[in-house]
Protein backbone atom coordinates (compact mmCIF):
# COMPACT_ATOMS: atom_id res chain seq x y z
CA UNK A 1 0.00 0.00 0.00
CA UNK A 2 1.33 3.42 -0.92
CA UNK A 3 1.47 6.28 1.52
CA UNK A 4 -1.50 8.61 1.37
CA UNK A 5 -0.58 12.11 0.21
CA UNK A 6 -3.66 14.29 0.68
CA UNK A 7 -3.64 17.99 1.45
CA UNK A 8 -6.47 19.02 3.77
CA UNK A 9 -6.88 22.64 4.85
CA UNK A 10 -9.81 24.67 6.10
CA UNK A 11 -10.67 28.28 6.72
CA UNK A 12 -13.46 30.21 8.43
CA UNK A 13 -14.93 32.92 6.19
CA UNK A 14 -17.06 35.76 7.52
CA UNK A 15 -19.49 35.66 4.60
CA UNK A 16 -22.55 33.63 3.65
CA UNK A 17 -21.99 30.34 1.83
CA UNK A 18 -23.61 31.82 -1.31
CA UNK A 19 -20.85 34.42 -1.60
CA UNK A 20 -18.11 31.82 -1.12
CA UNK A 21 -19.77 29.55 -3.70
CA UNK A 22 -19.77 32.39 -6.25
CA UNK A 23 -16.02 32.88 -5.67
CA UNK A 24 -15.49 29.13 -6.26
CA UNK A 25 -17.42 28.82 -9.52
CA UNK A 26 -17.25 32.22 -11.31
CA UNK A 27 -14.25 32.63 -13.65
CA UNK A 28 -13.90 36.33 -12.81
CA UNK A 29 -13.12 35.27 -9.22
CA UNK A 30 -11.29 32.00 -9.99
CA UNK A 31 -8.75 33.97 -12.02
CA UNK A 32 -7.90 35.87 -8.82
CA UNK A 33 -7.08 32.77 -6.74
CA UNK A 34 -6.06 30.17 -9.35
CA UNK A 35 -4.84 29.89 -12.91
CA UNK A 36 -7.23 29.39 -15.80
CA UNK A 37 -6.17 28.77 -19.41
CA UNK A 38 -6.16 31.95 -21.50
CA UNK A 39 -8.80 30.50 -23.82
CA UNK A 40 -11.20 29.58 -20.98
CA UNK A 41 -14.30 31.73 -21.42
CA UNK A 42 -16.54 33.16 -18.75
CA UNK A 43 -18.19 29.81 -18.10
CA UNK A 44 -19.30 29.12 -14.55
CA UNK A 45 -18.12 25.79 -13.23
CA UNK A 46 -20.88 23.20 -13.48
CA UNK A 47 -21.11 19.42 -13.65
CA UNK A 48 -19.10 18.14 -16.62
CA UNK A 49 -17.27 21.43 -17.31
CA UNK A 50 -13.65 20.85 -18.29
CA UNK A 51 -10.74 23.22 -17.83
CA UNK A 52 -7.84 22.13 -20.02
CA UNK A 53 -4.30 23.43 -20.29
CA UNK A 54 -3.54 22.04 -23.75
CA UNK A 55 -0.90 19.32 -23.67
CA UNK A 56 -0.38 19.66 -19.92
CA UNK A 57 -3.35 18.94 -17.65
CA UNK A 58 -7.12 18.88 -17.31
CA UNK A 59 -9.60 19.52 -14.51
CA UNK A 60 -13.13 18.11 -14.87
CA UNK A 61 -16.03 19.02 -12.60
CA UNK A 62 -17.31 15.65 -11.37
CA UNK A 63 -19.48 16.91 -8.49
CA UNK A 64 -21.27 20.23 -8.26
CA UNK A 65 -23.72 20.39 -5.36
CA UNK A 66 -24.52 24.12 -5.15
CA UNK A 67 -23.53 25.78 -1.86
CA UNK A 68 -22.10 22.47 -0.55
CA UNK A 69 -19.53 20.57 -2.61
CA UNK A 70 -17.41 21.10 -5.70
CA UNK A 71 -15.07 18.37 -6.98
CA UNK A 72 -12.63 18.85 -9.84
CA UNK A 73 -10.84 15.69 -10.97
CA UNK A 74 -7.23 16.30 -11.98
CA UNK A 75 -5.34 14.59 -14.76
CA UNK A 76 -1.88 15.50 -16.03
CA UNK A 77 -1.07 14.15 -19.49
CA UNK A 78 2.45 13.08 -18.50
CA UNK A 79 1.11 10.56 -15.98
CA UNK A 80 1.76 6.97 -16.95
CA UNK A 81 -1.79 5.58 -16.91
CA UNK A 82 -5.05 6.81 -18.50
CA UNK A 83 -7.17 9.36 -16.61
CA UNK A 84 -9.70 6.72 -15.52
CA UNK A 85 -6.98 4.97 -13.50
CA UNK A 86 -6.49 7.94 -11.16
CA UNK A 87 -8.71 9.38 -8.46
CA UNK A 88 -6.93 12.66 -7.77
CA UNK A 89 -9.13 15.68 -7.20
CA UNK A 90 -9.62 19.11 -5.70
CA UNK A 91 -12.60 18.88 -3.33
CA UNK A 92 -14.17 22.04 -1.89
CA UNK A 93 -16.67 21.46 0.95
CA UNK A 94 -18.78 24.27 2.36
CA UNK A 95 -20.80 24.49 5.57
CA UNK A 96 -22.55 27.49 7.08
CA UNK A 97 -23.08 28.42 10.69
CA UNK A 98 -24.57 31.67 11.93
CA UNK A 99 -23.97 33.55 8.68
CA UNK A 100 -20.36 32.55 8.19
CA UNK A 101 -18.89 29.78 6.09
CA UNK A 102 -16.33 27.09 6.68
CA UNK A 103 -14.47 26.02 3.57
CA UNK A 104 -12.53 22.77 3.55
CA UNK A 105 -10.16 22.03 0.68
CA UNK A 106 -8.84 18.52 0.06
CA UNK A 107 -6.36 17.84 -2.74
CA UNK A 108 -5.05 14.41 -3.69
CA UNK A 109 -4.39 11.55 -3.24
CA UNK A 110 -0.97 11.92 -4.82
CA UNK A 111 0.32 8.75 -3.12
CA UNK A 112 -0.33 6.74 -6.30
CA UNK A 113 2.19 8.80 -8.29
CA UNK A 114 5.90 8.10 -8.48
CA UNK A 115 6.63 11.80 -7.89
CA UNK A 116 3.60 12.22 -5.62
CA UNK A 117 5.58 14.00 -2.90
CA UNK A 118 6.33 16.96 -5.18
CA UNK A 119 2.65 17.24 -6.17
CA UNK A 120 1.71 17.03 -2.50
CA UNK A 121 4.12 19.81 -1.53
CA UNK A 122 2.83 22.04 -4.33
CA UNK A 123 -0.77 21.38 -3.27
CA UNK A 124 0.04 22.31 0.34
CA UNK A 125 1.35 25.67 -0.83
CA UNK A 126 -1.55 26.19 -3.26
CA UNK A 127 -4.17 25.39 -0.60
CA UNK A 128 -2.77 27.95 1.86
CA UNK A 129 -2.64 30.72 -0.71
CA UNK A 130 -5.95 29.89 -2.43
CA UNK A 131 -7.95 29.67 0.80
CA UNK A 132 -6.68 33.05 2.00
CA UNK A 133 -7.52 34.66 -1.35
CA UNK A 134 -10.98 33.00 -1.49
CA UNK A 135 -11.64 34.29 2.03
CA UNK A 136 -10.61 37.81 1.06
CA UNK A 137 -12.71 37.79 -2.11
CA UNK A 138 -15.82 36.42 -0.37
CA UNK A 139 -15.59 38.77 2.60
CA UNK A 140 -14.98 41.85 0.48
CA UNK A 141 -17.37 41.08 -2.36
CA UNK A 142 -20.24 43.52 -2.65
Kindly report each contact of residues 1-5 with a partner whose C-beta sits within 8 Å and lies 24 or more positions away, as own/partner: 2/111, 2/112, 2/116, 3/111, 4/108, 4/109, 4/111, 5/108, 5/109, 5/110, 5/111, 5/116, 5/117, 5/119, 5/120
Average pLDDT of 124-138? Answer: 97
Give the percent of the chain with pLDDT over 90.
Answer: 92
At residue 112, does pLDDT exceed 90? yes
Between 99 and 44, the more confident residue is 44
pLDDT of residue 129: 97
What are the pLDDT digits (tens) for 70-89?
A: 999 999 999 999 999 999 99
Delineate the domains of the chain, giving CATH numbers in brackets: 7-140 (3.30.530.20)
- Provide DSSP, 87-131: --EEEEEEEEETTEEEEEEEEE-GGGSTTHHHHHHHHHHHHHHHH
pLDDT of residue 3: 85
> What whole-number distance in Å separates Cα of residue 110 and Cα of residue 90?
11
What are the pLDDT digits (tens) for 21-70?
A: 999 999 999 999 999 998 898 999 999 999 999 999 999 999 999 999 99
- In sequence order, what are the beta bridge partners of 93? 69, 104
pLDDT of residue 95: 97
Residues 6+ apart with CB under 8 A from 32: 133, 137
Amino acid sequence: MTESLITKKQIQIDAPVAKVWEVLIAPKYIRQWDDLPQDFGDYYLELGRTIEWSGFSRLTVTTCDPLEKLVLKLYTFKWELPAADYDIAYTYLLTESEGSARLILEIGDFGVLEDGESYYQASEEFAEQALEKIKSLAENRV
